[in-house]
Structure 1
Amino acid sequence: MMTSRPLFKPLRILLSEGTSTSAREAVTLLGLAGHVVDVCDPAAAGLARFSRFVRRYRRCPGMRDDPLGFLRFIEGLLVTGDYDVLLPIHEQGFLFARAQERLRPLAGLALPSFASYRTAHSKAGFSRMLSELGLPQPETQIVASVDALRAAVRFPCIIKTTIGTASRGVWMVRNNADLTLAMKELEASNGFAGEVLVQARVAGATEKAQGVFCRGELVGFHVYRQLMEGAGGGDAIKRSVRRDRVRDDLAAIGRHLAWHGALSIDFIMSDDDSGPFYIDCNPRLVEPMAAYLAGVDLVDLLLRISLGETPDVAPATREDVVTHQAMQVLLGRAQRGGDRRDLLHICRDIWCRRGDYAGSTEELTPVRIDWLSAVPLVTTALLLVMSPRLSYALAKRGWGQHLLDIRSVAIIESETF
């Protein structure tokens, strides 16, 4: 059983969304530490709604369609004085960084400057920063038109919009048919309203590094390798690894940006050992349970920094700690063509902790310590067993109003916001 002991008095936390896997895992860690957790989300039934650790789940305006309305809703809660910390676990950090002068007097908040946040949030901005710092990335071209995109493409490659999360706005292009589909979807989504990246494909394993920074200095760090891909490129099974080079590079990025708060990067460890190659940046804390199970509570560090503390540098996490997300395993297998028998076998193996799940710990829906988390897990399993094709619709529920798009980014960046 996972346990945690608070290192300071229990806090009153306002979590700014409750749909993402990152938010759901943060709820578990906050609850285990004894903190009081309230969640805001535009969805009626986000993942965080189903937790015994959530005191109150508040419906709010969607940041994507109404960023100003969402901000006013958050401010209205904070001015009551009921919260010690505002925790932007996902893309809400972009909005809060823009408005942090209004928010900081109301609650603890750990965010860098808006200029730094914009650099990390933009795929084009992150790529340019890597070039400036001399850090490795796949061969990359940044284009702004259909003709320039066609000229830049060399098969196989990855095409990315500069704004996007949860693998939205990303296309693997292996041939002309893939390119035609990517171009069609780019034009339909107004992708050329911003810059588009064309990156050479690097063969290797996907790994992700998570860091927490205090005024530009790295104080907490964890890396894991993706062992099994879930829906939308998510991590179904992970294993913690040690990457000293990546730690140094992430520390350099944080110092360059004077980062304050959580920052995560994705990279490829190439098959020919010439990596790492950095491919993406998330200016937030991504699924923190794996780090906790490997020995470092990144959420605790983030709370301390939010309150103005300067915490000691956390020790290195343990290697070879394996974790999984049963919902991601099921969704990913269904999307890869798994039938009902496959899905039932997976359910059996996860419950019995055998096969791929022997020695692995569930990180997203910890039913044994939070029985309410069984509701979305069992519902997902039953729906997929009835119809595996539902996996696409179920996965898209995570791409809701709590996320940004090109339009909402432009509104938040505008001088009149």
Structure 2
Amino acid sequence: MKAILTYGRAWSALAAARSLGKRGIEVVVGDEYAFAPAALSKYAVDTFRYPNPDLDPEGFLDTLEAVVRKHRPADGEEYVLMPVHKEAYLIARHRARFDPLIKMALPTIEQIEQVHDKGTLADYCRQQGLPIPRTTVPANPSEFEQAADRATYPSFVKVRRSAAAVGVKKVGSPEEARRVFEGFVTDLDLGPGSYPLLQEGIAGDDYCA
């Protein structure tokens, strides 16, 4: 079996390379930079560099496709592409380009976007009967203000599409919640379909992965 990993600078990519390599799976590692931890692993049988996917998405896709074709086994051996970071969004949007060439450890772009947006994720959980903290996904500022008056505190104001704790603020009162909401809306130019949500705080241990 052979696997292609992207974003080799991530520690998660290094962990994946080690895990795959220890199981006898050949690993090819890509990144924008040559000095990437996973690319330096003894389990990497080859490495490649690609353009920044944000600045040059077509260049990234072209490079990745060329690498996939270069390493494609001729004997029907298992072959998988494992995006590690946000380049997964770009690859998923162009899934049809890669599906004939390689298997992908990657959901569809629709599935990714559904869970990446904290608002649609909360709606989905409610529809499926999954327990989540009390969450208000406002259609307009007035709905947020009403929710802030009803909420228990501490709560959290969260930007719907963000990661790595960016756009998340713990608040202790309705006034602070409204102030943080207005700040996010102004600073990030948010509007209908992207207004920050309000979510109750749940006491307990905090685990980050």
Q: Do the structures match in fold with TM over 0.5?
A: yes
**Separation of aligned partners in 2, 1:20 and 1:150:** 40
Q: Corresponding residue for 2:188?
A: 189
SS at match of 2:70: coil
Q: 1:70 aligns with which of 50, 56, 60?
A: 60
2:20 maps to 1:21: no
CA apart distance, 1:77: 1.5
SS at match of 1:80: helix
**Separation of aligned partners in 2, 1:145 and 1:169:** 18
Task: Give, as a single letter, the amino acid of the residue that structure 1 aligns with 2:161.
Answer: I
Report if aligned partners of 1:124, 1:162 keep a CA contact under 8 Å in 2: yes
Report if aligned partners of 2:157, 2:180 keep a CA contact under 8 Å in 1: no
Query: C-alpha deviations, 1:214-260, integer Å up to 9, x for none?
Result: xxxxxxxxxxxx3xxxxxxx34xxxxxxxxxxxxxxxxxxxxxxxxx
- What stretches of structure 2 of length at least 5 have no aligned partner? 74-78
Task: Give, as a single letter, the amino acid of the residue that structure 2 aligns with 1:103.
Answer: F
SS at match of 1:38: strand
Report if aligned partners of 1:39, 1:54 keep a CA contact under 8 Å in 2: yes
Task: Give, as a single letter, the amino acid of the residue that structure 2 aligns with 1:117.
Answer: I
Query: C-alpha deviations, 1:303-326, integer Å up to 9, x for none?
Result: xxxxxxxxxxxxxxxxxxxxxxxx
> Cα gap change, 1:111/1:152 in structure 2, threshold over 3 Å: closer, same or farther?
same
Report if aligned partners of 1:13, 1:37 keep a CA contact under 8 Å in 2: yes
Q: TM-score, normalised by structure 1?
A: 0.42
Q: 2:2 aligns with which of 8, 12, 16?
A: 12
SS at match of 1:159: strand
**Separation of aligned partners in 1, 2:147 and 2:169:** 15
**Separation of aligned partners in 2, 1:190 and 1:47:** 37
Report if aligned partners of 2:3, 2:82 keep a CA contact under 8 Å in 1: yes
**Separation of aligned partners in 2, 1:141 and 1:188:** 21
**Separation of aligned partners in 1, 2:63 and 2:38:** 19
User: 1:18-417 residue pairs with structure 2 within 5 A?
Assistant: 18-43=8-33, 45-82=35-72, 84-143=79-138, 145-146=140-141, 148-153=143-148, 154=151, 155-175=153-173, 176=175, 180=179, 183-185=182-184, 187-192=186-191, 194-206=194-206, 226=207, 234-235=208-209
> Cα gap change, 1:129/1:14 in structure 2, threshold over 3 Å: closer, same or farther?
same
Query: C-alpha deviations, 1:328-359, integer Å up to 9, x for none?
Result: xxxxxxxxxxxxxxxxxxxxxxxxxxxxxxxx
**Separation of aligned partners in 2, 1:57 and 1:185:** 40
> Cα gap change, 1:113/1:80 in structure 2, threshold over 3 Å: closer, same or farther?
same
Question: Which segment drifts farther, 164-173 or 179-188?
Answer: 179-188
- How many residues get paired? 199
> Cα gap change, 1:184/1:26 in structure 2, threshold over 3 Å: closer, same or farther?
same
Question: What RMSD, in angstroms, separates the aligned Cα atoms of the two structures?
Answer: 2.8
Report if aligned partners of 1:81, 1:106 keep a CA contact under 8 Å in 2: no
Task: Give, as a single letter, the amino acid of the residue that structure 2 aligns with 1:168.
Answer: V
The percentage of counterpart residues that share the same residue type is 27
Report if aligned partners of 1:140, 1:197 keep a CA contact under 8 Å in 2: yes
- What stretches of structure 1 of length at least 5 have no aligned partner? 1-10, 207-225, 227-233, 236-417
